[in-house]
Amino acid sequence: MKLEKVTTQSAGGSRRYHDACGAAHGLDLVGERWALLVIRELMMGPRRFGDLRKDLCGLSANVLTQRLEGLEASGIVRKRKLPPPASVQVYELTDWGYEIKPVFMVLGRWAARSPQHDPTLPISAVSIMQSFETMFDPALGADADMRLGFAMDEDRMVVTVSGGVIVAARGEVEDCEVVVRAPSQVVAAAVYGKVPLEALEGEGAMSIEGDRDVFACFIDFFHLPEKVAG
């Protein structure tokens, strides 16, 4: 008798595996197209619907609504209303939802070795910050003690490196040793593409305030992994 994987159509329209494997159930929860990227964009705190859609290129409002509803039904995401004066509805990860972060890091490092991975494609501010935590080489940054600010359009992020540990989070950049002002894709070009800072500044794509040597040192902590043999 030929055996084959059995799937069923759920009430929400997604397909489910009949498999007791935890990984299979994980795909039941987050395997729908865009679901993981929605989770990624919530990794650094609550976001409004419009902000999520802006940073997920190609995602329609209808599909984003479906994914948020599905993730909320699964207990991964919740929505709440911010107190005044904001008084807007936001989406955020639950405590359990945040526990998926190590999966992103392993998946990101593994997939970066693919010959088909194109690091020049658009990247969101949250994604570039997550990549820093994923690709950071603690051996290279073991003696570093620095605090960098990144102003990427409307996003403000702070990255600290101390004792071989890197932490990226939303925050005010004014008290950082250096502040890098550039779109997230330009930051990626500097850090991973190793495009000279002088060239990016000369083109008007990036401005650096404060101790530029700190940022130059920071860049050396990151190198994309070698591609697998084709």
CATH number at residue 86: 1.10.10.10
- Peptide bond between residue 183 and the one before it cis (omega within 30 degrees of 0): no
* Whether residue 132 sits in one domain with residue 95: no
Residue 67 structure tokens:
């994914």
pTM for the structure as a whole: 0.88
Cα–Cα distance for residue pair 222/137, rounded to 1 Å: 6
Please tell me whether residues 128 and 176 are part of one structural domain: yes
**Residue spans of alpha helices (H) in 112-211:** 125-135, 184-191, 197-202
Q: Tens of pLDDT along the chain (230 residues)?
A: 454 544 444 434 557 888 999 999 999 999 999 999 999 999 999 999 999 999 998 999 999 999 999 999 999 999 999 888 878 999 999 999 999 999 999 999 999 999 999 988 999 999 999 999 999 999 999 999 999 999 999 999 999 999 999 999 999 999 999 999 999 999 999 999 999 999 999 999 999 999 999 999 999 999 999 999 86
User: 12 with 89, same domain?
Assistant: yes
In a domain, 105, yes or no: no
Q: Are residues 27 and 66 in the same domain?
A: yes
Whether residue 228 is contained in a domain is answered as no
Domain extent for 66: 7-99
User: For residue 226, what are the contacts with CB-CB under 8 A and spacing of at least 6?
Assistant: 113
Q: What is the pLDDT of residue 14?
A: 59
| Total domains in the fold of the chain | 2
- Single-letter amino acid, residue 62: N
pLDDT for residue 82: 86
> What is the structure's pLDDT at 12?
44
Residues 92 and 153 in one domain: no
Question: Which tokens in the block code for residue 1?
Answer: 């008798």
Read off the tokens for 115: 């010959």
Domain membership of residue 225 (yes or no) is: no
Question: How far, in Å, CA of 68 to CA of 177, rounded?
Answer: 38
Question: In this structure, what CATH number is given to the domain that contains residue 157?
Answer: 3.30.1050.10
Instruction: Classify residue 158: in a domain, yes or no.
Output: yes
